[in-house]
Amino acid sequence: MTVPRSRLGVAVLTMGNRPSEVAALLESVARQDSPPQRIVVVGNGSPLPPMGDGVTVVELDDNLGVSGGRNAAVEELRKCGDVDVVVDLDDDGLLVDTGVFSRIRELHEADPGLGVLSFRIADEEGVTQRRHVPRLRASDPMRGGEVTTFLGGGHTLSMRMLDEVGCWPDDFFFSHEETDLAWRALDAGWRIVYAPELLLQHPRTSPARHAVYYRTTARNRVWLARRHLPALLVPVYLGTWSALTLVRTRSLTGLRAWGGGFAEGLRTMCGRRQPMRWSTVWRMVRLGRPPVV
């Protein structure tokens, strides 16, 4: 019996300030030896120029953040009804190899339980930053395998998984939205795989370049714990990350913003609480990253 080919939908989120980078990314998508069924570019609170044939443009009136913008892309792809796998790509990324989509199809078709594929992200010199390896032992970015989270800059999402566990958490806006989705997917039994052969070239950056980084990082970590962790693990998780933040952060302004975000996370609504099963916690421990670090 012939297995049907996975139908891919590419989603690119942009604020309209990188027109040349988006054009280069779309050119690298067009060079793939196994083209996608759909391409959607979302303007997050900004108008966009024409993108050419085969590209659907969605212009949002307001900046809905990473989560809201990606949800808009998923909804547009879902309307088409012919997409099995969503491929999210950063607007300043580039697909260097022409066989990326072929490999994505191979991996998803071989494993019906595969919910997420995480790309390897490397700069123009081929260097992968430590924060771009989705596991604790990050010395070798070429070591792939099953993991507990994924990279926002380049990944795939099974549409069946999204139908089951829901889409991106709108209220997160920016930071840790991938972890929220990953934890829900793991608790529903889906697999997350880091596939380093799937390369997205991306400029070397720091997440702290975003003005809201410290506040939303702290707030969203609190929300993550309150939404998804068993009660016993909530103080352990928050205590671990608070200690790491105090040790690592050199900016007094950043620490003040972080403290404000932490307090905001405690006093505001975080969505429906649905703590993960202890069997999921144990699964994450076996995969090398318990949900406390």
CA Rg, the chain, in Å? 19
pLDDT band at 160 (very low <50, low <70, confident <90, very high): very high
Residue with tokens 């952060």, as numbered in its chain: 249
Mean pLDDT over each residue of the chain, to the nearest integer? 94
Q: For residue 159, which of 115, 104, 111 has the smallest C-alpha distance?
A: 115
pLDDT band at 238 (very low <50, low <70, confident <90, very high): very high
Question: According to CATH, where is 3.90.550.60 located in the chain?
Answer: 8-205
Report the SS3 class of residue 197: strand
Q: Give the pLDDT confidence score for residue 80 in this predicted structure.
A: 87
Q: Give the pLDDT confidence score for residue 138 in this predicted structure.
A: 83
Q: What are phi and psi of 94, to 5 degrees?
A: -150, 135
Q: What are phi and psi of 115, to 5 degrees?
A: -95, -40
Tokens encoding 153: 């800059």
Full-model pTM: 0.95
What count of other Cβ atoms lies within 10 Å of the Cβ of residue 256?
A: 12
Largest CA distance in the chain: 62
Question: Is the pLDDT at 39 greater than 90, yes or no?
Answer: yes
The burial of 11, by beta-carbon neighbours within 10 Å (0-12 exposed, 13-18 middle, 19 or more buried), is given as: buried
Q: Give the pLDDT confidence score for residue 173 in this predicted structure.
A: 95
pLDDT band at 205 (very low <50, low <70, confident <90, very high): confident
Pairing of strands 8-14, 85-90: parallel
Question: Is the pLDDT at 3 greater than 60, yes or no?
Answer: no
pLDDT band at 1 (very low <50, low <70, confident <90, very high): very low
d(CA 252, CA 225): 25
Q: Give the pLDDT confidence score for residue 66 in this predicted structure.
A: 96
At the top level of CATH, the class of 8-205 is alpha beta
Report the SS3 class of residue 43: strand
Percentages of the chain per state (helix, strand, coil), in multiples of 5 = 45, 20, 40
Tokens encoding 257: 């913003």
Q: Give the pLDDT confidence score for residue 211 in this predicted structure.
A: 54
Report the SS3 class of residue 198: strand
Distances (CA, A) of 48 to 100, 146, 169: 26, 37, 25
Give the list of residues 6+ apart from residue 233 with CB closer than 8 angstroms, or none. Answer: 225, 281, 291, 292
Is the four-CA dihedral 14, 16, 20, 26 of positive or negative sign?
positive
